[in-house]
Amino acid sequence: MAIISCPVCDHRISNKATECPKCKTDLTAATPEKLAAKHRDKLLRQSQSLMNQSMLALLLFLAGFGILYWWQPENGSYNEYVSTAAIALGFCWYAVCRARIIWLKRKK
């Protein structure tokens, strides 16, 4: 008995397993075309999720600047801290999401 990777989720499984315990892919009736299609679908879902997250991060970043521009909070006020935190969090979240998208595309 050898340990192999699931062709869909890359989870380590036995070569005698009939289905993957993680993604529930039936390995006995699966053709290479079906497995490749499932793998492509998984990568597409991950990519779409990361794009949605990067859009939310960008909106958070812009909302922070909007608070600073339109409300013009005084120095040391609660609104200034909230807007600064939104800008910092949005920027970091956006940078991490974009890096994960690039890593996912290179992984294909």
Model pLDDT, residue 108: 66
Residue 66 three-state SS: helix
Tokens for 83? 């807007």
Mean pLDDT of the chain: 89
- Asked if 13 and 5 count as a contact pair (C-beta separation under 8 A), the reply is yes
Pick the closest to residue 87 from 54, 55, 71, 65 (CA basis). 65
CA 95 to chain centre: 12
Angle between helices 32-66 and 78-107 (to 10 degrees): 160
pLDDT digits (tens, 9 = 90+) for 31-72: 778 877 888 888 899 999 999 999 999 999 999 999 999 988
